[in-house]
């Protein structure tokens, strides 16, 4: 009676799972992190689609908000800066829209990533799964919203600024890739830290707002030069900031219709990859304690 | 590939499905306290680390072979749930080793991972993905799961519209659909209405019969004597006794009775 039963089922012996107090070293942890994400790609896919479904529900316009939101935000800043402060650039709507769109992706992805682990406390205490999928899914979901943002961008270009259309627009995904790596690095780190320090969530909202104003989103090089005259260190901070290169990159390809500053973008990519390695290591290092702390 | 030594009996089925050796789980009280930066800074300044450690489990060793069902009993806070969480791989051991042979499914608290906004059907797929079940497999079992949960047309409504009984039924149905070799149960049997309780009891017995190992944590001594063929009593994170269910239950009841009496007696 044994052989058939043994053939029809995988032999349990092949799947001995051991858990011990011994943890792998830094390189081992990175390998585990990579296999976590790869082996659970289906789970990530479900989490992303669940996230998008939820964001579309419960509002009258549903996913139309992904298109309206950046447009309305742009309108607010156009009124504020070009009418009230009277300091705008040519074609100011497009000038800031090229920055608002990626920034919205970044800030909402970071906000969602921060809560992604601590918000799933019940699940983490009940089911064993690689927690890394949570911030990764939260950040990837933002890409879809960003992609939807291409619709109003296209409309803006075609209807209002047809002479700004150029082949450089095809470089948007390249800049977006650099941004994605940086966002993953920061989001994964922040998600892990927020498990231990819930202050991160509160702090992040203000930090992100300040970061936005210290990035060349609403203003360009002229304003930074002006700041450098009076506040040298702030001007330096603006330039060291990864979003200086990233937003300028978007602006080059969307607004100026030229290639981005490859050197600046490449350096941000290099730093982001190193940062991502550190974040992944840190996340995997503290992951075993999540179930105890939450 | 297995790294474990060859079995003594030569028959693979008799090798322990669960092998726990010298398991210890330590909680850092500094971490488990709800933290804010302020607390941590205060702790840093005080330099006392904020209150040391506490062992939820210590020196726990036992094994469960296929076909066996082990009932774990003990007073509240004895470490029963921590033990199940460690077996499920949710909590990593601080010391010692756990080896699990076979496919494991845990029914700790039903429906913990449900997303309130998603429909029952979507939640089945999501829960399956969280549990690490192959997507094709969960798609194949989808109809069975829905049929067993027996929640009718609600399956396409958002989980937030479900009653707690419906939620528990769906959770139970998902967790037991995977045909596990090893099943971990934590006080979940008393969910749902009478009919579903009988049905779930039947399913648990069926799983137990299929040469599967079961670890059950419960306060219901009836379950232990009726369905377990071995029992283990733990107190303060240590194994106090292990053996025949009836014997262990008697011991547990005697010990808690004694504790109650000494607590009531004036002056200890």
Classified as helix, coil or strand, B163 is coil
Confidence of residue B108 (pLDDT cuts 50, 70, 90): low
B142 found inside a domain: no
Helices (H), ranges, chain A: 2-8, 26-39, 41-56, 65-77, 92-118, 121-126, 133-148, 150-159, 172-196, 199-213, 221-230, 232-240, 242-251, 262-286, 290-293
If 0-12 CB within 10 Å is exposed, 13-18 middle and 19+ buried, where does residue B263 land? Answer: exposed
| A39: region left, alpha or beta (phi > 0 left; psi from -120 to 50 alpha) | alpha
| Residues sharing a CB contact under 8 Å with residue A143, sequence separation 6 or more, in sequence order | A105, A176, A180
Residue B83 is assigned to a structural domain of this protein: yes
Domain-located, residue B115: no
DSSP state, residue B232? E
DSSP tag of B183 = E
Residue B12 and residue A126: Cβ atoms within 8 Å?
no
In a domain, B161, yes or no: no
Q: What is the ipTM of this complex?
A: 0.79
Q: How high does pLDDT run on average in chain B?
A: 80
Q: What is the pLDDT of residues B211-227, one digit of tens each?
A: 578 888 888 888 888 88
What does the pLDDT read at residue B46?
56
Tell me the CA distances in angstroms from A135 to A138, A140, B247, one per residue in order: 5, 9, 49
Tell whether B23 is covered by a domain. yes
Residue B152 lies in a domain: no
Probe site for chain B from A12, A24, A120 (most B CB atoms < 10 A):
A12
Say yes or no: B4 contacts chain A, CB-CB below 8 A.
yes
CB A216 within 8 A of CB A234: no
The count of structural domains within chain B is 1
Per-residue exposure over A60-81, b if at least 16 CB sit within 10 Å of its own CB, e if not? eeebebbbebbbebbeebbeeb
Is A8 among the domain residues?
no
Rounded (10°) CA dihedral A76, A79, A84, A89:
110
What is the span of the domain harbouring residue A145?
26-293
Tokens 């040298």: give the residue: A232
Residues 6+ apart with CB under 8 A from B72: B80, B83, B84, B215, B216, B217, B231, B232, B234
Q: Is A12 on the interface with B (CB under 8 A)?
A: yes
Which tens digits make up the pLDDT trace of B30-74?
665 555 666 666 665 555 444 578 889 999 999 898 878 899 999
Residue B77: inside a domain: yes
Tokens found for residue A180: 């994605």
Does residue B162 contact residue B154 with C-beta atoms inside 8 Å? yes
How confident is the prediction along chain A (294 residues), in pLDDT tens digits per residue? 333 333 333 333 445 777 777 777 888 888 888 888 898 999 999 999 888 888 776 666 677 888 888 899 999 999 998 888 888 788 899 999 999 999 999 999 999 999 999 988 888 888 888 999 999 999 999 898 899 899 999 999 999 999 999 999 999 999 999 999 999 999 999 999 999 888 888 899 999 999 999 999 999 888 888 888 888 888 888 889 999 999 999 999 999 999 999 999 999 999 999 999 999 999 999 998 898 887
Compute the distance between CA of residue B238 and CA of residue B77 in angstroms, rounded to an integer.
Answer: 11
Output the pLDDT for position A161.
92
Question: Mutate which of B129, B157, B160, B174 to disrupt the A interface (most A C-beta within 10 Å)?
Answer: B129
Enclosing domain of residue B223: 15-103+180-264
Q: Indicate whether A252 belongs to any domain.
A: yes
Q: Which residue has the higher pLDDT, B188 or A281?
A: A281
User: What's the burial of B242, exposed, middle or buried (CB within 10 Å: 0-12/13-18/19+)?
Assistant: middle
Write the CATH number for B229: 3.40.50.300
Report the distance separating Cα B152 and Cα B146, nearest Å: 8
Closest CA to A191 of A130, A116, A272: A116
Residue from A59, A46, A101, A137 nearest A217 by CA: A101
CB within 8 Å of chain A, chain B residues 117-156: 117-118, 122, 125-126, 129-132, 135
User: What is the C-alpha to C-alpha distance for residues A149 and A102, in angstroms, rounded to an integer?
Assistant: 9
Three-class HEC string of A201-261? HHHHHHHHHHHHHCCCCCCCHHHHHHHHHHCHHHHHHHHHCHHHHHHHHHHHHHHHCCCCC
Of B35, B38, B100, the CB nearest to A17: B100
Q: Domain tally for chain A?
A: 1
Q: At what angle do helices A133-148 and A41-56 cross, to 10 degrees?
A: 50
In a domain, A7, yes or no: no
Residue A266 within any structural domain of the chain: yes
In a domain, B217, yes or no: yes
H or E segment at B42? Answer: helix B37-46
Size of interface A-B (CB pairs under 8 A): 135
- The distance of B64 to chain A (nearest Cα, Å) reads 14
């Amino acid at each position: 009676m044994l052989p058939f039963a043994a053939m029809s089922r995988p032999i349990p012996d092949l799947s001995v799972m051991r858990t011990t107090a011994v943890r792998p070293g830094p390189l081992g942890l990175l390998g585990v992190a990579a296999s976590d994400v790869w082996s659970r790609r289906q789970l990530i896919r479900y989490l992303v689609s669940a996230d998008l479904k939820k964001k579309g529900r419960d509002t009258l316009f549903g996913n139309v908000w992904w298109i309206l939101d950046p447009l309305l935000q742009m309108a607010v800043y156009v009124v504020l800066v070009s009418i009230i402060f009277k300091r705008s650039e040519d074609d100011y709507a497009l000038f800031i829209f090229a920055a608002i769109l990626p920034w919205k992706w970044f800030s909402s992805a970071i906000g969602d990533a921060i809560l992604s682990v601590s918000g799933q406390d019940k699940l983490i205490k009940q089911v064993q799964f690689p927690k890394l999928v949570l911030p990764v899914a939260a950040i990837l979901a933002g890409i879809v919203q960003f992609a939807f943002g291409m619709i109003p961008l296209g409309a803006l270009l075609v209807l209002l600024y047809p002479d700004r259309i150029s082949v450089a627009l095809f470089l948007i995904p390249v800049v977006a890739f650099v941004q994605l790596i940086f966002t993953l690095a920061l989001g994964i780190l922040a998600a892990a830290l927020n498990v231990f320090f819930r202050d991160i969530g509160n702090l992040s909202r203000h930090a992100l707002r300040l970061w936005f104003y210290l990035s060349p989103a609403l203003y360009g090089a002229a304003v930074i030069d002006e700041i450098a005259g009076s506040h040298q260190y702030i001007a330096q901070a603006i330039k060291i900031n990864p979003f200086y290169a990233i937003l300028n990159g978007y602006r080059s390809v969307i607004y100026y219709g030229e290639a981005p500053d490859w050197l600046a973008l490449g350096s941000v990519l290099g730093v982001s990859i190193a940062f991502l390695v550190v974040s992944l290591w840190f996340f995997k290092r503290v992951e075993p304690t999540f179930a105890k702390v939450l | 590939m297995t790294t474990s030594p060859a079995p003594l009996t030569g028959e693979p089925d008799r090798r322990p499905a669960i092998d726990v050796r010298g398991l210890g789980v330590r909680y850092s009280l500094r971490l488990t306290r709800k933290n804010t930066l302020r607390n941590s800074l205060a702790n840093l300044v005080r330099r006392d680390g904020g209150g040391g450690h506490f062992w939820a489990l210590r020196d726990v060793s036992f094994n469960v072979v296929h076909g066996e069902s082990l009932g774990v009993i003990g007073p509240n806070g004895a470490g029963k749930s921590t033990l199940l969480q460690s077996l499920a791989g949710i909590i990593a051991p601080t010391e010692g080793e756990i080896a699990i042979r076979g496919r494991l499914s845990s029914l700790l608290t039903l429906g913990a991972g449900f997303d309130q906004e998603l429909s029952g059907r979507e939640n089945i797929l999501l829960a399956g993905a969280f549990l690490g079940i192959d997507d094709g497999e969960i798609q194949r079992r989808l109809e069975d799961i829905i049929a067993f949960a027996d929640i009718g047309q609600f399956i396409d409504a958002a989980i937030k519209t479900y009653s707690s009984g419906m939620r528990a039924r769906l959770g139970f149905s998902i967790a037991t659909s995977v045909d596990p070799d090893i099943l971990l149960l934590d006080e979940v049997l008393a969910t749902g209405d009478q009919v579903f309780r009988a049905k779930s009891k039947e399913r648990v017995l069926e799983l137990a019969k299929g040469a599967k190992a079961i670890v059950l944590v419960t306060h219901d001594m009836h379950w232990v004597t009726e369905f377990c063929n071995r029992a283990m009593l733990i107190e303060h994170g240590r194994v106090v006794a292990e053996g025949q269910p009836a014997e262990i239950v008697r011991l547990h009841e005697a010990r808690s009775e004694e504790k109650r009496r000494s607590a009531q007696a004036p002056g200890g």
